[in-house]
Amino acid sequence: MSAFWRRVCIFFVALIPFAFLVYKTLANQLGADPAKAIVLYTGEWAIYFLFITLAVTPLRRFITFNKIHFRWLQTHRRMLGLFTLFYAILHMLAFLVFILGLDFSRFGKELVERPYILVTIPAVLLLIALGVTSTQAMMRRLGKNWIRLHKCIYLIAILAWLHVFMQVRSSYFDAVLFGIILVVLLLPRLYLAVRK
Long-range contacts formed by 37-45: CB under 8 A, 24+ apart: 38/94, 38/98, 39/91, 39/94, 39/95, 39/98, 39/99, 41/17, 42/87, 42/88, 42/90, 42/91, 42/94, 43/87, 43/88, 43/91, 43/163, 45/17, 45/18, 45/87
pTM of this prediction? 0.90
Provide the number of structural domains found in the chain: 1
Residue range 102-111, pLDDT digits in tens: 887 888 888 8
Q: Which domain holds residue 109?
A: 3-195
- pLDDT given at position 123: 94
- pLDDT given at position 191: 77
Q: Find how far residue 126's CA is from the centre of its chain.
A: 11
Q: Is residue 170 over pLDDT 80?
A: no
Q: One-letter amino acid identity for 133?
A: T
Q: Is residue 65 over pLDDT 60?
A: no
Contact predicate 61/188, CB 8 Å: yes
